[in-house]
Amino acid sequence: MHDHGGGIRCFPAAAVLAAAMLTCAAGDLIKVGDKAGWTPDVNYTHWAAHRHFFVGDWLYFVFDKRYYNVLEVKKANYERCDDGEFMKNVTRGGRDVYNLTEARSYYFLSSGGYCFHGMKLSIHVRRSPPPPPPSPSPDVKSAKGGASPESGRDRAAALFMAVLISIFILRLL
């Protein structure tokens, strides 16, 4: 901590980042469009049809912010590719995350006519994922040499998401 006179103490940015990493580790980080990212001529309807989205998950939009953006819109606007009355502009820097906080349908599009080139996404978010399978007993885990690959992937995804959120927070400061 740093004392800035007058007895007020400020936590360094690392403490803020650590807190964000701990509080944001729930849910999965899902890169929209996989390798293609958020770009024209990708069938996001097909992409989303093969995934499950749950409250607490994060959408990760990767795009060139000079040309594209991400707007959350209502269903009618999504269907017409109408960006005139968007609900929220998700765009910050082209590597943007969006937390799915409610069980409902979400609609996103890119303005500037890019929606007509496929840059629109509709997903339905459910309350919670199915319960995980029972974990093996401690004896089985130690016989296999420690944690499962799934737990390593989960930790890596949580850390990656925390880093992205930390970058977002630093941009706000």
Could you tell me the CATH number of the domain that includes residue 61?
Answer: 2.60.40.420
Say if 169 falls within a structural domain: no
Say if 10 falls within a structural domain: no
How many CB atoms lie under 10 A from the CB of residue 26? 14
Say if 103 falls within a structural domain: yes
- Segments of the chain with pLDDT less than 50: 1-25, 141-152
Which domain does 57 fall in, by range?
A: 28-129
Say if 162 falls within a structural domain: no
Those residues whose C-beta lies under 8 Å from the C-beta of residue 90, and which sit 6 or more positions away, are 61, 69, 70, 71, 72, 96, 98, 108
Q: How far is CA 109 from CA 48, 75, 87, in A?
A: 14, 11, 11
Amino acid occupying residue 133: P
pLDDT at 127: 92
pTM above 0.75, yes or no: no
Say if 62 falls within a structural domain: yes
Which residue's structure tokens are 């807190």?
19
pLDDT at 162: 64
pLDDT at 24: 46
Say if 150 falls within a structural domain: no
Q: Are 101 and 26 in contact (CB under 8 A)?
A: no
Say if 110 falls within a structural domain: yes
pLDDT at 158: 61
Q: Residue 31 class from Cβ within 10 Å (0-12 exposed, 13-18 middle, 19+ buried)?
A: middle
pLDDT at 159: 59
For 13-148, where are the alpha helices, taking DSSP H only?
Answer: 13-23, 44-49, 75-80, 138-143
Say if 173 falls within a structural domain: no
pLDDT at 168: 56
Total domains in the chain come to 1
